[in-house]
């Protein structure tokens, strides 16, 4: 048992060292990097499609997207961005720094202001692995129910911002907003929560402005 | 790297041995055991609440439910069943046979016909761990999108039955049924797929009948 624990610690240590290298490289290039984490179907890819479309011409964007199988997400986003890399993890339940390191070699970093890393659809395992990002963003949707922050506290606690998607479906699903918010604030009193509907476009401006501010701060930090 | 792989294999081997012991024990007692696997918020707990309610008086039921944190699911189901055990996994992303083994000691197996194991909300990691169940049931919901079977092929391939929940929300979400079915059938040509709305109750009868048949077959197999 202790041997197993040692191995897991080694895996995390090696991961974190590589993530640190990635973070330094991205800092040098002033690339604001977002690690987007949420359950399958919460709307991560749809959010990035809209984000790529809305920010086109204002900022230079790149995306890495992790999935067990298929290149469907990359294909969807390639319509809005010429720097999209699909990472297939096989049976792997999360992205690791090694995936990001390899995928970076396929991106022209000289023309990137914001790098999005769409993690594998999973609210648990991705939280533990540093990818060298500036921020983790935890994403929920109202159709998942109001109990998800309490049941998945680690992603809430580690998020620099959170998203609550599919607000257009609120009339049709049981969702007690006060329960959701109470658990979110108990676990993370500071991070902004963006309530939005990716498919309808409602509420997306605050998210886009937050991204622009993040990129501006990153650019200034190195100026 | 090879050392890490060896450790993982050992963990799975120990798990599988214990799962085999659990399977033999449950077979002796003719308990039909269902390992329910799905993404966070697909409706696993709501499905079990309805199932417990509908089968009350016909079959004797017990439930184990896994979550990182909180006892909310067990509290919900306790309203419909006097044998419910909550398992908190901490940061663990799936149930293992060891969890089930411990939880079994808290259930009076002499009065159980069907045991439900609601796994941690996660479409990936739970698939790899045998819990001694008779069947794995993979659960999806229409709000997650039509691409989830293709992106999560292992749970589809290993399911003895599948559920597509939240059909009442079909008018409000983008979901191409033909894409979903095509991927399901490519990966698993045999398992029945139950399309239903847990909250409205539509389509639940086929699921309940399938459970009754499973229990009947289990009872006969040992008669």
Residue A2: count other Cβ atoms within 10 Å of its Cβ.
6
- B194 to each of A143, B53, B56, B77, B191, how far by Cα in Å? 20, 18, 21, 22, 10
Please indicate whether, in this complex, the C-beta atoms of A143 and B166 are within 8 angstroms of each other.
Answer: yes
pLDDT class of A221 with cuts at 50, 70, 90: confident
Q: B120 touching A, CB under 8 A? A: yes
Facing residue for A147 by CB, picked from B72, B141, B143:
B72
CB-based contacts of B198, cutoff 8 Å, min separation 6: B43, B46, B47, B50, B165, B166, B204
Angle, CA of B93, B99 and B104, to the nearest 5°: 145
pLDDT score recorded for residue A3 = 60
Q: Which of B71, B24, B75, B73 is nearest to B44 (CA)?
A: B73
Neighbours of B205 (CB within 10 A): 12
Contact A91 B128 (CB under 8 A): yes
Domain ranges of chain A: 2-221
In this prediction, residue B1 carries a pLDDT of 42
pLDDT score for B9: 75
CATH architecture type of domain A2-221: 3-Layer(aba) Sandwich (3.40)
Residues B177, B178, B183, B188: what is their CA dihedral angle, to the nearest 10 degrees?
90
Numbers of helices and strands, H then E, in chain B = 8, 7
Enumerate the residues of chain B whose CB falls inside 8 A of the CB of residue A172: 168-169, 172
Which of B126, B118, B8, B136 has its CA nearest to residue B66?
A: B118
- Alpha-carbon span A200 to A92, nearest angstrom: 32
Measured in angstroms, the CA of A19 and the nearest CA of chain B are apart by 18
CB within 8 A of B156, min separation 6: which ones? Answer: B138, B149, B162, B183, B184, B187, B188
Distance separating alpha carbons of residues B76 and B57, to the nearest angstrom: 19
Chain centroid, CA B206 distance in Å? 16
The arithmetic mean of pLDDT across residues A65-89, rounded, is 96
Check: CB of residue A122 under 8 Å from CB of residue B122: yes
| Residues of chain A neighbouring B186 (CB-CB closer than 8 A) | none
| Regions in chain B scoring below 70 on pLDDT | 1-8, 222-223
Q: Where are the alpha helices (DSSP H) in A56-176?
A: 72-78, 97-104, 148-151, 153-158
Answer whether A169 sits within 8 Å of B172, measured CB to CB: yes
Q: What is the DSSP string of A148-195?
A: HHHHSHHHHHH-SEEEEE-GGGGGGS---HHHHHHHHHHH-SSS-EEE
Residue A110: CB atoms within 10 Å: 7
pLDDT one-digit tens code per residue, A2-40:
566 666 678 889 999 999 999 999 999 999 999 999 999
Cβ distance of A41 and B143 shorter than 8 Å: yes
Cβ atoms of B59 and B113 within 8 Å: the answer is yes
Interface pTM, i.e. ipTM: 0.93
Residues of B in contact with A148 (CB under 8 A): 40-41
Task: Report pLDDT digits (tens) over A89-112.
Answer: 999 999 999 999 999 999 999 999
Distance CA B43, CA B73 (A): 11
Q: Using CA coordinates, name the residue in chain B closest to A1.
A: B11
Query: Does pTM surpass 0.90?
Result: yes
């Amino acid at each position: 048992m202790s041997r197993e624990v040692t191995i897991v610690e080694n895996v995390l240590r090696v991961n974190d060292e590589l993530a640190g290298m990635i973070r330094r490289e991205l800092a040098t290039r002033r690339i604001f990097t977002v690690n987007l984490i949420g359950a399958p179907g919460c709307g991560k890819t749809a959010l990035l499609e809209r984000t790529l479309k809305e920010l086109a011409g204002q900022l230079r964007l790149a995306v890495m997207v992790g999935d067990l199988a298929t290149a469907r997400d990359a294909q969807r986003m390639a319509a809005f961005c010429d720097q999209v890399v699909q990472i297939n993890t096989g049976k792997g339940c999360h992205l690791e720094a090694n995936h990001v390191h390899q995928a970076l070699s396929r991106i022209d970093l000289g023309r990137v202001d914001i790098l999005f890393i769409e993690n594998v659809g999973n609210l648990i395992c991705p939280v533990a692995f540093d990818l060298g990002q500036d921020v983790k963003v935890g994403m929920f949707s109202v159709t998942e129910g109001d109990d998800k922050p309490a049941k998945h506290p680690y992603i809430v606690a580690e998020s620099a911002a959170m998203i609550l998607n599919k607000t257009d479906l609120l009339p049709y699903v049981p969702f007690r907003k006060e329960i959701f918010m109470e658990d979110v604030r108990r676990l993370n009193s500071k991070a902004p929560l963006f309530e939005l509907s990716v498919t309808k476009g409602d509420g997306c401006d605050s998210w886009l402005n937050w991204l622009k501010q993040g990129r501006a701060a990153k650019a200034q930090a190195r100026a």
